[in-house]
Chain A
Amino acid sequence: MNSTLPALLFLVPFLSALLCGALGGYLRGAARWIALGALAATAALSFAGAALAAAGERLVTHMGGWAPPLGIEWRLDALSAFVAAFVAATALIVHGALGDVRRRELGEREPGFNTCALLLVSGLMGMIASADLFNLFVHLEVASLSAYALVASGGRGAPRAAVRYLVIGSLGASLYLLGVGHVYAATGTLNMDDAAARIAAGADPRLTILALAFMISGLAIKMGLFPLHGWMPGAYARAPLSAAALMAPLVTKVSAYALIRILFWVYGPAGLGRAPIVADLLCVTGAVALIAGALLAAREADLRRLLAYSSVSQMGLVVLGIGLANAAALTGAILHLANDALMKATLFVGAAELAHRFGVREVGDLARVRARAPWTAAAMAVAAFSLVGLPPLCGFFGKWYVLMGALESGRPGMAFAIVAGSLASAFYAFRIVERLYFARSGEACPEREGPAGLVAACALLGGGVAALGLGSDRVVALLVRAAIPGGV
């Protein structure tokens, strides 16, 4: 069905970003409301899209009315609708929750920050909706550039972390672009469906596999896949609290989505079958990342760096699921994108609140907020349990489906890696819980948790972790099942 909705998903935040930037200097209050309104509108649009996709609709936008392969296409099928829905909803909740934190830590720079945040969301939504390999790159760059700026707006150490992020991130984007160039050389098209048809018809396999290698490497950097995760801990720990909470749950997930899209829609089982080593490499790297990320997190003192390593570990599970490339594993990988977004949003919003209200940045200092922040602590504990994969929280189901996939494809080694990774996750997750609830601290903090909106958002996200777990069967039945490509 032709519709403007897929394009509106990124146009609404994009145009609002311009408006926000133009007005921010004069009417700071208005700019704040514009930003929030734009995110709310994006979330509403993405939910409408998800509802239509669940009903079996497939929404496409042809830019200027030009049909592909000549025109540029954006579209919303079950997969992109699912990803768009949780990305937009998470962005809205996180941005809405952190208003006070933003005002205090950014002051004068808030309008510029809001502009960058909207551009980031616009870039991410564009990546999700794009049905064109080159346009995906354009949106990726919009998201990346605004992410660099967001990191750089932090305090001490932020410029350094931002430059590091910029250099490594640009390398990733360049690699991706190089891959797109090779696809164009081999097939003469950039539209995903068109390229898929020509790859299936037997376009030069040497070029297309090389292209795939470049694109995977580029996206692996963007999604922080171990050992290419070096930019992540610094960027998330040094960025402003409100920026880290927005970026950490979303940026890596959308890059993983792009990987799924390219692997299974552009190349498809036929394209992948020509280079079986790709899937094996993804499996092994994912398994290593799953365990290594958890071990790195276990020995990290800084709370936000710890959470970044936890993302490395969780993305490892996603990549493992992608590499296994059967229906169960892919269900797990797609579901786990939403799971990790929600878990990380809970933990980063909680971490932002604790740093903002109590000045706590290290795991060891969490003892100081004991009994002073009951709701925040409870939400963070729920998310931590979910990271370990305790049922019936959402993290369990992501693991379960990938585990099923590993067993179905007859790879007990991968199944063992998933179990070992879960156990390793327990070390860092329960460190947080133990410090929050059972450690004694010499100095008592006079503050209490707050403001109310932030606490409510944290509790809402924590509740969402449980709700997505209990409702995962419905989510899988409505959206994820339909998002699995045919032939997998």
Chain B
Amino acid sequence: MDPRVLGAMAAPFAAAAAIYLGRRRGAEAWTYAAAGVSLALALALLPAVRAGVAPEVRLMGLLPGVDLFFRVDPLGLTFALLAAGLWVVTSVYSSGYVRAMGLENRRRYFACFAASIGCALGVAFAGNVLTFLVFYEGLTLATYPLVAHKETDAALAGARRYLAYALTGGLALTAAAAWTWMLAGTLDFVPGGFLPPRLAGGALAGLFALYAIGYGVKAAVMPLHAWLPGAMVAPTPVSALLHAVAVVKAGVFGCLRMVQYVFGPDTLSSSAAPAVLIAACGVTVVAGSIAALRQDNLKRRLAYSTVVHLSLIVLGAALLAPHGTVGAMLHMVNHGFAKITLFFCAGAIYASTHAETVSRLGGLGRHMPWTFAAFTVASLALVGFPGLCGFVGKLILARGAIEASQMVPLAILLGGSLFTAAYLLPIVRAAYFDPAPNDAVREAPGLMVGPLVATSALVVVFGALPAVINLQYELAARAAAQIFGGAP
């Protein structure tokens, strides 16, 4: 029983309950308090995990021999720190956004936001497939009101589509969990996998397909991605934290768990499953990039960019090589920093100009210097500019591909970067070099600009400060060492 683990997860849920039942004015205060507590407790777990300890919490039994069980390993802690850390920043941004946009139903908004983060932390710390499933489905439920938040017909339609996809994924995962339990007699994650080593070909394929659908929906791997652009009707902070980081990364995180902790590289390496996954990722990168190029709506273009980059992370997991895993974990975090910055910028632009489309961004760079500086930094980071965070993950992913002597993934990786440049950099160019609009446009409120400057600073810090990169690398390498054996 580690109180830090329990506290980090319980704080957001407690805040959600307090916000829902309490006064409207208290919503933001509760959010800040819970975000601070969660981040502090997650950081407090860092020394133990670096020392090779895995803090555990075992609650009540759910099934015979399967408990509600949490275990903090390097992979889980990485995801938890990402979600809790960015929640702090997003809370400030949310405060600015709800004021600037005059958002209604603020209590529901903040309560569901907190509950979503709680579920994301539950996913991160889950020690077995069933616990994972509980919070994975909870994440669907908690984010559904946020997508439907505006209550327009478009919002409700987007929310319904989101539910249909997410629940299908959840049910596939339920079936996969039941099957796994029958085959293995346990559901606890084990580095290197816990399924019996000699699985019949049909069972392996069926089980892998079920897991891949279950996690692929949230990771927006094509053809299971269509909910993500539709979910962009949500308020921008929701798109920023949940549909660029917490929800979709839960799917990616699930893919990593499935490949490395359920099946294990040894079981998968002799099957066609990794090749199928790599093929799906390759198709997603190309088709998603083309879709992004064709999108004029800024948030939807960013959503397709998310689709592409999530597939690059899944690709890392599918390489079944130590550096593939390390690179996937690094890019999971680093893409989060860059993408949340881009969404924050999109929201700031919308708040000041009500411009939603790329074609109306021309010349805004001079009027909104901070916003577009951040946008530029984050775009370059996603392209893979050295010295910014996106470069590190991609470099290690490339090393993983070479290590596994797989040239196709390497080509996908490089191609994805080129495409990223093609659909993001024209925005930057237009913002700075096109003629400015006639009406006076000013920078968004400080509560929105502050967070986006902060996250763009993170983009630089995680790309340029060796101490930070080393810490991040150390966690990822420790996870890879547990899975593949060898020294961290």
Same assembly: yes
Q: Which residues of A contact B (CB under 8 A)?
A: 385, 388-392, 396-397, 399-400, 403-404, 407-408, 412, 415, 419, 422-423, 426, 430, 434, 437-440, 470-474, 476-477
**For the complex, is B141 an interface residue (Cβ under 8 Å from A)?**
yes
Q: Are A404 and B178 in contact, CB atoms less than 8 angstroms apart?
A: yes
B175 touches A419 (CB 8 A): yes
Q: Is B226 located at the chain interface by the 8 A CB criterion?
A: no
Give the chain B neighbours of A423 by CB distance below 8 A: 167-168, 171
Docked pose: A403 CA to B178 CA in angstroms? 7
User: Does B474 belong to the interface (CB within 8 Å)?
Assistant: no
Let me know if B145 is at the binding interface, CB within 8 A: yes
Q: How far is the CA of A192 from the CA of B253 in the complex (A)?
A: 55
Q: Would you list which residues of chain B between 400 and 422 have a CB under 8 Å from chain A? A: none
A-side contacts of B156, CB under 8 Å:
434, 438-439
- Report the bound CA distance from A408 to B179 in whole Å: 9
Of B133, B141, B148, B178, the contact of A434 (CB 8 Å cutoff): B148
Which one of B56-64, B86-94, B217-225 is at the A interface?
Answer: B56-64
| Contact indicator A404/B167 (Cβ below 8 Å) | no
Asked if A392 and B63 make an inter-chain contact with CB atoms under 8 angstroms apart, the answer reads no
* A402 CB → nearest B CB, Å: 10
Proximity bits, B131-143, A CB within 8 Å = 1, else 0: 0011001100100
Give every chain B residue within 8 A of A440 (Cβ-Cβ). Answer: 151
With A400-B63, A419-B175 as known contacts, state yes or no: A430 contacts B163, CB within 8 Å: yes
What A residues does B206 contact at CB under 8 A?
412
24 A-B pairs in the complex with CB atoms less than 8 angstroms apart? A388-B167, A389-B171, A389-B174, A390-B137, A390-B138, A390-B170, A391-B130, A392-B68, A403-B175, A407-B179, A408-B182, A419-B174, A419-B175, A422-B171, A423-B167, A423-B171, A426-B164, A430-B163, A434-B156, A434-B159, A472-B62, A473-B61, A473-B64, A476-B64
Q: Which of A390, A403, A437 has the most CB of B within 10 A?
A: A390
B62 near A390: Cβ-Cβ < 8 Å: no
Which chain A residue shows the least CB distance to B178?
A: A403
Q: Which of A437, A438, A440 has the most CB of B within 10 A?
A: A438
Choose from A412, A470, A477 the contact partner of B64 (Cβ within 8 Å).
Answer: A477
Q: Which of B60, B159, B172, B175: most chain A Cβ within 10 A?
A: B175
A407 partner residues in chain B, CB cutoff 8 A: 178-179, 182
Contact of B385 with A by CB under 8 A? no
Q: Which residues of B contact A (CB under 8 A)?
A: 60-64, 68, 130, 133-134, 137-138, 141, 145, 148, 151, 156, 159-160, 163-164, 167-168, 170-172, 174-175, 178-179, 181-182, 206
Least CB distance from B272 to A in Å reads 20
Given contacts A403-B174, A403-B178, A438-B148, contact A391 B63 (CB under 8 A): no
Bound Cα distance from A440 to B150, whole angstroms:
11
Contact A473 B62 (CB under 8 A): yes
In the complex, what distance in Å separates the CA atom of A439 from the CA atom of B155? 11
| Chain A residues closer than 8 Å to B171, beta-carbon distance | 389, 419, 422-423
B141 A385 Cβ-Cβ under 8 A: yes
Name the CB-closest residue of A to B62: A473
CB distance from B463 to the nearest CB of A (A): 39
Closest-CB distance, B314 to chain A (whole angstroms)? 23
Q: What are the residues of chain B within 8 A of A400 when measuring CB–CB? A: 63, 174, 178
Bound-state CA distance A472–B163 (Å) is: 26
B159 to A438, Cβ gap below 8 A? yes
Report the minimum CB–CB distance from B132 to chain A (whole Å).
10
State the Cβ distance, A374 to closest chain B Cβ, in Å: 9
Which residues of A lie under 8 Å from residue B160 when comparing CB positions? 430, 434
The 5 closest A-B CB pairs, nearest first, are: A473-B61, A391-B134, A403-B178, A438-B148, A419-B171
Interface centre among A400, A404, A408, A412 (most CB of B within 10 A): A400
Interface pair B130/A473, CB less than 8 Å apart: no
Residues from chain B with a CB closer than 8 A to the CB of A471 are 60
Q: How far is the CB of B238 from chain A (nearest CB, A)?
A: 15
Tell me, in angstroms, the Cα distance from A389 to B170 when the chains sit together: 10
Residue numbers in B under 8 Å from A396 (CB-CB): 174
Residues of the B chain whose Cβ atoms lie less than 8 Å from the Cβ of A403: 174-175, 178
CA distance A50 to B174 in the complex (A): 31
B452 to chain A, nearest CB (A): 29
Q: In chain A, what residue has the closest Cβ to B156?
A: A438
Contact check, A391 vs B133: say whether CB atoms are below 8 A apart.
Answer: yes
B contact residues around A470 at 8 Å (CB): 60, 62
Chain A residues with CB under 8 A of B145: 437-438
Q: Are A415 and B175 in contact (CB under 8 A)?
A: yes
B134 CB contact (under 8 Å) in A392, A412, A434:
A392
The residues of B that contact A389 with a CB separation of less than 8 Å are 171, 174
Name which residue of chain B comes closest to A422, CB basis. B171
Q: Closest CB of chain A to B66's CB: distance in Å?
A: 8
Closest-by-CB residue of B relative to A474 is: B61
CB distance from A382 to the nearest CB of B (A): 10
A470 to B62, CA, bound (A): 6
Question: Which A residues touch B62, using CB under 8 A?
Answer: 391-392, 397, 470, 472-473
B151–A438 touching, CB < 8 Å: yes
A429 to chain B, nearest CB (A): 10
Q: Shortest CB–CB separation between residue B356 and chain A, in angstroms?
A: 22
> What's the Cα separation between A234 and B148 when bound, in Å?
34
**What is the minimal beta-carbon distance from B22 to any residue of chain A, in angstroms?**
13
- Give the residues in chain A near B159, CB-CB below 8 Å: 434, 438
Nearest CB on A from B119, distance (A)? 12
A399 vs B170: C-alpha distance in the bound complex, in angstroms? 13
Kindly state the separation between the CA atoms of A439 and B152 in the bound complex, as whole angstroms. 9
Residues of A within 8 A of B167 (CB): 388, 423, 426
Interface centre among B137, B163, B168, B171 (most CB of A within 10 A): B171
Does the CB pair A404–B151 fall under 8 Å? no
A392 to B134, CA, bound (A): 6
Q: How far is the CA of A470 from the CA of B164 in the complex (A)?
A: 25
Closest beta carbon of chain A to B305's beta carbon, Å = 29
* Residues from chain A with Cβ under 8 Å of B178 in the complex: 400, 403-404, 407, 415
| Cα(A397)–Cα(B133), bound, Å | 13
| Cα of A470 to Cα of B163 in the assembled complex, Å | 24
- Determine the residue in chain B with the shortest Cβ distance to A390: B137
Residues from chain B with Cβ under 8 Å of A404 in the complex: 178, 181-182
| A388 to B168 CA separation, bound complex (whole angstroms) | 11
Name the residue among B64, B137, B148, B164 with the largest chain A CB count within 10 angstroms: B137
